[in-house]
Structure formats: C-alpha cells, structure tokens
Amino acid sequence: MKLKTALLLAVLCTCAAVRHAGAQAAETIWLSAATTAYKVGETVVVTVNAVSVTPIQGFTFQIRYDPACLRPVNAASPIPGMNGLSLPQTAGLIDASFASTTPQSANGALAQVQFKALAGCQTSLSLESAALAVRNGSGFAAALPGIAIGEKNIALNIDQSSGGVQATQPVVGTPLPLGPAASSGGSSALSLAIIVLVVSVLTIGVFGFLILFRSNDRNNSH
C-alpha cells in the first residue's frame, strides 16, 4: 500500500512539473534594457524580446515614449531575413513592423530600438502592443494566438549633464528609421528590400496582417 501511495505521489509531482514547464514555455513578448542610466546626447537602447515555440514570419510592436525626453532613431532585428516596413510615425509612439519570406525562430531578441536622449529627465518606455505573425493552413499570415506580454515598462534616468564619448553599439540587421524620415519611405536600401519582399505573395500577406493589426489597434484605442 505504501508503495502504491509513493508511486501515486511521484506521478502527481511529475504531472505538476510538466504543467509548470508548459506554463513557462508559453509564447511571450517583453521589453528589456542592459542599462537604464544615460546622459543627454547619449543613445538609449532597449530590446524587444520574444519566446515562441512556433516559427514566425513577422512581428509588430508599439512603444510609448516621452518626445520631450527622447527621440527615436531606428530599430533593427537580429533575426535573419527579417526586414522592416516603413510606416508613418506619431510623436510619442514608435510603430514598427518586420516580416520574413521564410519561417524564423524567435527565442530571444526580436528587435533592438535606439533613442537619442534629449533632456535631463526621469521617464519610461512602455510596450503598448505587440504581435507575432505566422503562416496559417491556407498560406496566409495570421496573428499567433495566446501571446503573453511580460515586462512592459522600462524606467529611465537621463542625467542633464552632457555625455562623454559613448561606445557605439553595432546595429545587427538593416536599420528601420523611426524618425520623421520614416513616413517618407526611409533609405533607398530599405525601400529596395521591401520591394523585393512585396514580390513574394507570402510577404504581402504578412505585411497585410501587420497593417491590418495596426489599423484595428488604432481603431480600438479611439
């Protein structure tokens, strides 16, 4: 009898462990930063991260910021084949979308976002929305369901004294401009990359989903 009880407890413990591991493995998107203390003139860097057991073919995110403290510069994805879609930008809100013609693994950094520190202040960055895009059974892009949003806010302290010589961090991937020029089409290299992507029906579907997601998100916010 004692042996049966011990075996039953062992089975229950194993099931509990499996359920716990499954909960930890859920698709998640979150913000992170290696440092949160900067000086005026320095480049502020934050990372949009994700963990997904399903390969993705695109992602999109919005980050809320204070335009009196920060000016967005660019975003770039270290995931091979992920190219940025240039979108009109609104002061105080970064709007970024990336897509790939082939499925890519998402297990870490999705994109690195850079800002220029404009003034001394205590401010924060907030992940307003985010989504991952996959190819459904019909071959069209669709939002990956069940995405959990982890850490949404990054508190920053910008010292009003001017920064010294800051070590430049290499940008991995093709930079997607997020400043005023973003609404006019961005760089020629980026435009060429997007034209190549548009030739692919799948990529049109991915970008179509990303644009539709943005449109619905704006409508819901009003």
- State the pLDDT at residue 52: 94
Q: What is the 3-state secondary structure (H, E, C) of 36-61?
A: CEEEECCEEEEEEEEEEEEEEEEEEE
Percent of the chain with pLDDT over 90: 55
- In the structure, what pLDDT confidence band is assigned to residue 141 with cuts at 50, 70 and 90? confident
| pTM, 2 dp | 0.73
- Fold of the domain spanning 26-221: Immunoglobulin-like (2.60.40)
Structure tokens at 222: 């009003």
Is a pLDDT exceeding 70 seen at residue 72? Answer: yes
Nearest in space to 25 (alpha carbons), one of 132, 143, 147, 110: 147
C-alpha radius of gyration, the chain, whole number = 20
The residues pairing with 162 across neighbouring beta strands, listed in sequence order, are: 40
Per-domain boundaries in the chain: 26-221
